[in-house]
Amino acid sequence: MINQSLSLPNDEEVTSAPSGHCLLPLGRNAILLIEKPAIIRNAWLLTLLAIACIATLGIGTMPISPKEVIAVLFGHGSSMSQFIVQDLRLPRLLAALFTGAAFSLAGCLMQTMARNRLATPGIIGIDNAAMAFAVSSVVGMGISLAPSVMALAGAATATALAFGLAGGSGTRGYRFIVAGIGIGAIAGAITQLLLSQVSIDVANSAYPWTVGSLSARDPMMVKVLGIGLGVCLVACLLFASQFALMPFSDQVITALGANIKSIRIITLVLCITLTGLAVAVAGPVGLVALIGPEIARVLARYRGIPLISSALTGALVMIIADLFGRTVLSPIELPVGIVTAVVGGPYLIWILVRRTSRTSL
Amino acid sequence: MISWFHIPPAQRPLFSLFVPALLVLALCCFCSLLFGAGGLSLQASFQTLLGNGSADDQFTVFHLRANRTLVGLFVGLTLGIAGALMQAVARNPLAEPGLLGVSAGSSFAVAITLVLGASTATLTVGIAQLGALIGCICVLSVARMQGQHNDPIRLVLAGAALSSLLLAVTSLLLLFDQRAADEIRFWVTGSVAGRDTNTLFSLLPSMLIAGLCILYAAKPLASLALGERVAIGLGHKPQRIRAVVIVAVALLVGGATAIAGPVAFIGLVVPFAARALVGPDIRRTLWLCLPLGPIIVIAADVVSRLVAQPAEMPLGVLTAIIGAPVLLLIVRSRRMPTL
């Protein structure tokens, strides 16, 4: 949305913006360059998101009309619908909103960094490692910390291993991906090991973690994720101009005066935080990180890096997938991870199969 | 005096490796009977092997441990050979049945039969093999469309995608069936312990067919390594060779999965080691895979019994821990070796 803030020499008057942009003066020496199509695009996405939210709050075994939903949200409505909307459906909606946005934003960042649209946190094993750590705390093995802390630790461990073993991600982006696949395989095996060691009841309680589900999530963790997501979004906007350099080669970035290493480290830290917290809430729903940025990129028509749009589309995808899983086979509830995998898996294969595909960004 | 290590791998005489490997395999089998978790001490195991142990000890050594050694032998053999064949046909050193979703296809088929009412004991092997065949065709056709010589990574990515899709559908099936979920929880870890050896005998016909396929395909496969045009010029039919090899891989992997569950990375590690020892010729590699596969599986199984006493670590976890570094080693090698 906000492309970059430019500082201008004093003696130069800026009178007109490039086409499709508008200027916003910030004090004496700086202006903000705003891309109009991006604003319009994100406004559309926000509208769609709001419609999806209201639909989600209304649809269920006790249908509530959109009018009533809006009334409840503004503090009116019958006590019955207030209970259903506020206490039952709203927490789940927030969880879907936050996790979708977090996964998708992390995916967008990592794809940009590795210059490969297949390099999402799910593919390179961050999801699996975060899951393995979180499951270990759920089934009570080893050190028992809060699952969100464990998930963050797992995400950080996996990323550090993949990045370190592959020797960076720059010109050898593919190494990073394959190293991640290997680490993801180990983490998956460890999860299976943990689940096979405990009684069936404990295993069942950990089962939603392993497929990705939004039912009965800890409200505390959702709150932590919300705060983390807010912080990461602000950080993304602050560093947006630096992230915009990442598609270029290392030499170009260095020649432009930016520090490629620090950009990569910032990106990785953001990815770890977002993915770790999101896995702590919903388990591995990694394919959202693949689908969300892809839709955002199609909408943006390859103009820059669609960070905000990615977050919005990710949240939209997650909400729709959860709504689908909740209603289509009701009363049985499909975990959201399974819905996204069944939809996203064929899509991933399709990306690979297309003859003239552009897997690199 | 030129040491043996100075001879290039491709010129080393095969028997100078094959015979020692067989001896190591015999040693591994012996260790597998001797060591184990649980109450039986090393001395008691040794005494039992010599013929003077109690009935309980004899049951442990000659039934439990002998059975899992036999299953390990079979699994190592099939997965090692399948990995070598798959890498040759895809001309990609990363092609591995576990990574590429062939085992996942097999698991998926097994999950379906479990949900439909079979138990793991009466599992029909043919269904696992059918699942492996479908997974194999899916993933190799994805790679073929891209011209696989240029991009070894794409095949792995396609496999990862296929695996995650199949795993998701498998979990979906299990969501509806608590009993199947409980049974498959132990099965998906991949283990050679407590498996039914009767299944081994029911596998013999399909293994015979797989063996015939390999005998038919080995020589043409070696010429296919020189390039498709050369192979056609030498009078081979690449399409037919590929089809035969895919059938053999599916039979082997499906059989192994039906018995031991998905054991990842064996198909990557064994041919990698074999190639490092005797060079890239597929016929020599296949010969060496015969003893190497069982050596690695049985050794890993013995270690899995000893590291977490008195409990056991599932074999699948241990092979993942051995295999992932080899994967990294292949990827990190300066020039991605193409086959």
Tens of pLDDT along A125-154?
888 888 888 888 777 654 555 777 888 888
CB of A309 within 8 A of CB of A296? Answer: yes
pLDDT of residue B26: 92
Exposed (0-12), middle (13-18) or buried (19+): which is B52, by Cβ within 10 Å?
Answer: exposed
pLDDT of residue A334: 82
Cβ–Cβ below 8 Å for B172 and A338:
yes
Contacts of A349 in chain B (CB under 8 A): 138, 142, 158, 161-162, 165
- Residue A277 or B44, more confident: A277
Query: How large is the C-alpha radius of gyration of chain A?
Result: 21
Residue whose C-alpha is closest to residue B38's, from B327, B308, B284? B308
Q: Is A114 in CB contact (< 8 Å) with chain B?
A: no
pLDDT of residue B174: 73
pLDDT of residue A184: 85
Choose from B148, B172, B174, B312 for mutation: most chain A CBs within 10 A: B172
pLDDT of residue A102: 95
Rounded CA-CA distance A321/A317 in Å is 6
DSSP state for residue B6 in the 8-state scheme: G
Closest in B154, B171, B185 to A338, CB measured:
B171
Nearest-CA distance B211 → chain A (Å): 30
pLDDT of residue A100: 94
A306: left (phi over 0), alpha (psi -120 to 50) or beta: beta
**For residue A64, what are the CA distances in angstroms to A52, A186, A322, A326?**
14, 46, 18, 16
Residues 142-171 of A with CB under 8 A from B: 165-167
Choose from A181, A209, A287, A334 for mutation: most chain B CBs within 10 A: A181
A vs B: CB pairs below 8 A: 130
A27-37 tens-digit pLDDT: 666 666 677 77
Q: Which residues contact B294 (CB under 8 A, 6 or more apart)?
A: B25, B28, B72, B73, B76, B77, B80
Cβ–Cβ below 8 Å for A165 and B153:
no
Contacts of A179 in chain B (CB under 8 A): 327-328, 331
Query: Which amino acid appears at position A207 of this protein?
Result: Y
Identity of the highest mean pLDDT range in A83-92, A198-207, B211-220, B306-315: B211-220
Angle at A323 between CA A320 and CA A325, to 5 degrees: 110
Lowest mean pLDDT among A79-83, A197-201, B289-293: A197-201
Q: What is the DSSP string of A100-122?
A: HHHHHHHHHHHHHHHTBTT--TT
Closest in A177, A200, A332 to B153, CB measured:
A177
Nearest-CA distance B50 → chain A (Å): 35
Query: How large is the C-alpha radius of gyration of chain B?
Result: 20
B73-122 tens-digit pLDDT: 999 999 999 999 988 887 778 888 887 888 888 888 888 887 777 666 55
Rounded CA-CA distance A100/A210 in Å is 17
- Residue A221 or A43, more confident: A43
pLDDT band, very low/low/confident/very high, at A16 (cuts 50, 70, 90): low
Residue whose C-alpha is closest to residue A193's, from B29, B254, B308? B308
pLDDT of residue B299: 92
Cβ–Cβ below 8 Å for B142 and A353:
yes
In the block, which residue shows the tokens 């696992």? B128
Average pLDDT over residues A219-242: 89
Q: Where are the alpha helices (DSSP H) in chain A?
A: 36-58, 66-73, 79-82, 90-114, 126-138, 147-166, 173-197, 200-211, 219-238, 240-243, 250-255, 260-282, 288-300, 307-327, 336-353
Beta bridge partners of A22: A34
Q: Is A210 in CB contact (< 8 Å) with chain B?
A: yes
Omega prior to B337 cis, within 30 of 0: no
Q: Tell me which chain B residue has its CA closest to the CA of residue A199.
A: B182
Choose from A199, A349, A350, A356 for mutation: most chain B CBs within 10 A: A349
CB of A155 within 8 A of CB of A279? Answer: yes
Q: Is the ipTM of this complex over 0.90?
A: no
pLDDT of residue B179: 73
Nearest-CA distance A180 → chain B (Å): 9
pLDDT averaged over every residue in chain B: 80
pLDDT of residue A162: 82
Rounded CA-CA distance B100/B92 in Å is 12
Closest in A179, A193, A345 to B168, CB measured:
A345
Nearest-CA distance A184 → chain B (Å): 9
Cβ–Cβ below 8 Å for B146 and A200:
no
Indicate if the pLDDT at residue A359 is higher than 50: no
Omega prior to A331 cis, within 30 of 0: yes
Residue whose C-alpha is closest to residue A90's, from A105, A72, A67, A65? A72
Contacts of A203 in chain B (CB under 8 A): 185
Give, for A26, the enclosing helix (H) or strand (E): strand A21-26
pLDDT of residue B147: 46
Cβ–Cβ below 8 Å for B317 and A190:
yes
A267-320 tens-digit pLDDT: 989 999 999 899 888 888 878 888 888 888 888 876 678 888 999 999 999 999
pLDDT band, very low/low/confident/very high, at A46 (cuts 50, 70, 90): very high
Nearest-CA distance A20 → chain B (Å): 38
Among residues of chain B, what percentage have pLDDT more than 70? 87
B150-203 tens-digit pLDDT: 566 667 777 777 787 787 778 777 777 777 777 776 677 677 776 777 778 888
Indicate if the pLDDT at residue B1 is higher than 60: no
Rounded CA-CA distance A319/A99 in Å is 10
